[in-house]
Chains A and B, each alone.
Chain A
């Protein structure tokens, strides 16, 4: 079960260079045909400086960086019992190919809850604030992990 004393823990930053190919690939995997992800002329017509990222793109640096399994281990969460409960993004500034974004993961909340059926769960909220290479805040993600016990 999760070690609830770990609230406030910060983890090493996720540093990620954004590539056009990864944006295109994520949009293809979702099945999103919006030309802004696939066609550079459409990007300009739609008023972007370059290819924008889909709303859920920040899952890519999070998952490919392996930070999630590191956090899950450190927080003593049983990997086989963990569910993704909630995900929230706030967008402050566009993220473009060539940007190097840095996200600092922090455990902002940990609590035990009891479901209506009486089973106990640990709820862990991880927040990541992302800045770009100019130290401008670009986005914030907040993930709720639920460990069934």
Chain B
């Protein structure tokens, strides 16, 4: 288990450990469709994806990439301390992409008896193209 992160040890500007995912395989999109219940054919059917303008075929579920972000965050700070996670879907993620999730502490405050950190987070592919960007808040001991 990861070392406990304490409020007093965290500074604004500190980086969250990076998480690298991929290369993204078609099988993962099929698995994610089944697990999440999102059966939009845009993520599993190349012909359909091309008809709606994706020239390279299927793209990943945005929520799968957000799932990668969730994995990166909770590998650093346990899920039970997470208070908020929000993202904007900034770009389409193609098969074969390698996604790196990174983040940075942007603020610290005390609220309602809890010590809260706010962090920015993003997921980008191997060319640096940002697919998901957002922020999260977590309570630290």
Contact = CB atoms under 8 A, between A and B. Distances in A.
Interface of A: 22, 25-26, 28-32, 34, 36, 45-48, 52-56, 59-60, 62-65, 80, 83-91, 94, 142
Contacts of B126: none
| Interface bracket on B | 35 or more
Interface in B37-67: 37-39, 52, 62-64, 66-67
Looking at chain A's contact residues, is the secondary structure mostly helix, strand, loop, or mixed?
Answer: mixed
- Main SS of chain B's interface residues? helix
Contacts of B7: none
B140 interface: no
A57 B34 CA distance: 13
Contacts of A48: 80
6 contacts: A47-B78, A53-B79, A63-B39, A84-B89, A86-B87, A91-B83
A47 B78 CA distance: 10
A83 to B, nearest CB: 7
A59 B86 contact: no
A30 B71 contact: yes
Nearest to B52: A80
